[in-house]
Structures are given as C-alpha cells and as structure tokens.
Amino acid sequence: MANQSPDRRQVLTLLSKVAAVSQFSGFSRWIYAAEHTHEDHVQPRPAHYKLQFFTPDEYKTVDQVTELIIPKDDSPGARDAGVGEFIDFIVAHDKDLQYRFRTGVTWLNAFAIENHGRDFPALSPDQQETLLARLAFQSKQSPTEVQGQQFFKLIREYTVMGYYTSRVGLEQLEYPGLKFYSASPECPHKDDPEHRRLNARNS
C-alpha cells in the first residue's frame, strides 16, 4: 500500500501513548521502540504469542491486513514487527475498540466471500490488495462500502501506531534515540583536557 510513515513528531507522540503497553511480557515479536536491551541482558520472550482478544481466524485476517499496509520489502514489514500482536493487546484492553474491530473483521471477510467466494486470508495477494484498494483510495470507494472504509482507516491507524512504536519500525526511521555508544568516545580536545579555552569563550 502507499507509504504509511509518520513524521518524527508523530512518532514521539505515539511512543508516549503506548509506553504502558511495553510492560506486557507476553509479546513474542513486538518490542517497544524505547526498550533498550544489551546482549548480556536480553528479556526472555515466549515462543508464541497468546491471543488476548481475537479468535485465531480473526487474527489471521488482522495480521494479513497489517502486512499489506506495511509490507516487507528491503525493510521488515508489519508482521516482522509483531504489529498483529500489538493490535490484539490494545483491542483487548479497550472496550470501545472491540466492537469496531470485530465487526470490521467480519465485514471484510464477508466482502471477500461476496467477491471471490473465500474469506480474506484465503485469497491470493493480488485479490487481497485489490479489495483493500477499494476501501483505501477515495477514487475507488463506493457508498455501499462505508463500513469497510471505516474499518480500513481504523486498522491502518493502529498498524502505523504499532509499527512505528516498535523497535523494528523506529529503526527504519533511523531514529537517533536508538543509537548508543558501546564505549564513550574520546574527547577531541586532548591538548586541553580541562577545557579552559571553552570556558574562556563562555565567560
């Protein structure tokens, strides 16, 4: 799909919103962007994520849609970042989102069956992209598909949120906050270790 990258100010806002989510230890792939881990102190993670809200079939749909929104190419995609896990956890803890996501997933699968005779995850990638394009792009939207358009807008919002608040996603923005020195760099003023010249300038 089209480039979904937020600007850096949006990223900082997203990070502040989901900081509490990072305390959950059950994610197998999603890692909070601001979580710094050292090689000698890696947080253990479960081999498989245990669904908090979606059924396995619903999760297949959500996971596939997120991957189509931010696909894997030369860079990791939404699935690599564990965005499906992030959305499942967020929805499980927000009653207002639960109805919207569940009815949205149901609508999308019915839409797929109506057009191709199979639910969304069973379609070919080309068929999936064609259906989502009808919901995503204004020039292809139909008044009879408003519910699907609203659902696509919703899941795209949370896909972007989950991806760019993950460590994988923030690395794609080359966010400097993720960089750290393994050792402190040497001072460039070796001939003036007390920095008298700098102090003199500032006095």
Q: What is the pTM for the complete model shown?
A: 0.76
SS3 state at 32: strand
> Can you tell me the distance from the alpha carbon of 46 to that of 145, in angstroms, rounded to the nearest whole number?
39
Q: What is the pLDDT of residue 175?
A: 57
pLDDT at 56 exceeding the cut of 80: yes
Q: What is the pLDDT of residue 53?
A: 97
> Can you tell me the distance from the alpha carbon of 49 to that of 149, in angstroms, rounded to the nearest whole number?
29
pLDDT at 190 exceeding the cut of 60: no
> Can you tell me the distance from the alpha carbon of 44 to that of 201, in angstroms, rounded to the nearest whole number?
50
What type of residue sits at position 165? T
Question: Residue 157, CB half-sphere, CA atoms under 13 Å: how many?
Answer: 10
Interval 99-152: pLDDT, tens: 999 999 999 999 999 999 999 999 999 999 999 999 998 888 888 899 999 999
